[in-house]
Structure formats: C-alpha cells, structure tokens
Amino acid sequence: MDQTSLLWLFVSSLLFCTTNQEAQRQLIAARPGDNVTLPCEVSNYFTISAVEWIRSDLQRCVYLKSYWYPVTADQDPSYVNRVQLKDDGMRNGELSLILKNVNKNDEGTYECRYVEWRGGRRKRALTDGELISIVFLKVEAEPEPVRDSLLRIIRHVVKFGTFFIATVLMVFSFQRKPRAPSAGRRPAVSVTTPPSPEDDGVTTEHHF
C-alpha cells in the first residue's frame, strides 16, 4: 500500500466522534502511581487494522495504532511512553490499553474505537463511527504520608490531654478547698475547767 493510502487511513481514524448507547461502559478507580488497564474488547471482528483511544476533553489522542505501528504524530504529550496495548498484535479482539504511572491529571472519560477490513474494503467499528468502549477513570486522592498522620494524631493527643489534665486538677482543687460554716449554726466551743479536789485530777470538757 502506498503512502497516500496510509495517510488517508491515519487521518480517517482520527475522525471517530460519535457515540453508541450499546458501547461497553465501565468505571475504573486508581491511585496516583498505579498502572491501570482500560478495557476494550471486540467480540465480532475480522482483521483489525487500526485502534484509537481518545479522552473526551483532549484535542489530541491518547493512543493510536495503525497497521501494527504506533502513531505518535497526534498523541497528547502527557501520554508519551506511558501507554501501550495489552496485546500489541490486537489478536482476538483485545484492544485494552495499559496506562502507566497514573496521576490526577489522567482522570477523565476514555473512548476506544477500531478500524477493520472486510474483503479488502475498510469498515469502521460496528456501524460508521460508533464507540466500542467507554471507560470513566477516577483517580483518588493521594494517601497522606504515615509521618504526617502520626504528627497529626500526636497534636490531637497533646491538645486534648492537656485539657483533660487541667479539668482534673480543677475538680481536685475544688474538692480540697475547706468549706465555710453554715450561716445559722455556731461552731462548737470547747472549755477546759481546772480540776476540783473532788474530781481527783479528772479534767471535764464542756461543749456549748
């Protein structure tokens, strides 16, 4: 096949833009640094000559492979050297894409399309321009480092521990404070009188 035909196939494969309600839809959750597989399989196929992965919010494609050769001319720079097909030979309808070292900026909606040949003429996936797979990639927040978590816990312990100790000391101090006598009651008075000869040295204490 000459270069003109190859160029035409390359350009036409970039023009897939319609959706299909019957397309496979999946939600994939990942954390920063993970390697994830975006699933895409074709059950009814002949010979696949091209596959394209795009993200709905990007102008350039995520991945494009035509005639068993990756095409990087229109690939978004953020995906260079980070994406590859699960099966480079596109055998058995396996068109899943492996995305390496996921980051928060990778979050979005991914779409998978392919081009097949039937009897020497090109035919797009299912009907003209329909999607094969739609994958929603959700990148969760990066987990907090263990060191920061421990420091936060220690700060809370110190804060509430200080408050608890201060409360205990306040209650203890209040309980130890002597109570004033009641207003309507006089304190007892103790008087010691000298002994009389009859008391034979016995001390008598009187309370009033």
Cβ-based neighbour number of residue 77 at 10 Å = 7
The answer to whether position 189 is within a domain reads no
166 in the same domain as 101? no
CA gap 12, 64 in Å, rounded: 12
165 in the same domain as 87? no
115 in the same domain as 62? yes
* DSSP summary character for residue 92: G
- 183 pLDDT band (50/70/90 cuts)? low
For residue range 45-82, list pLDDT tens digits in order. Answer: 667 788 899 999 999 999 999 877 899 999 999 999 99
pLDDT reported for residue 5: 42
pTM as predicted? 0.56
149 in the same domain as 94? no
152 in the same domain as 88? no
Q: Mean pLDDT lowest for which of 24-38, 39-53, 63-77, 86-100?
A: 39-53
In the chain, pLDDT over 90 holds for what percent of residues? 32
For residue range 96-146, list pLDDT tens digits in order. Answer: 999 999 999 999 999 999 887 655 544 444 334 457 899 999 999 866 666
Query: Which residues constitute the domain of residue 74?
Result: 10-139
152 in the same domain as 135? no
E-strand stretches of the chain: 24-30, 36-38, 47-55, 63-66, 69-70, 83-85, 97-99, 108-118, 121-124, 133-139, 190-192, 205-207
The whole-chain average pLDDT of the chain stands at 74
94 in the same domain as 36? yes
123 in the same domain as 49? yes
Which of 91, 124, 139 finishes a domain? Answer: 139
The answer to whether position 202 is within a domain reads no
147-156 burial, b if ≥16 CB within 10 A, otherwise e? eeeeeeeeee
127 in the same domain as 152? no
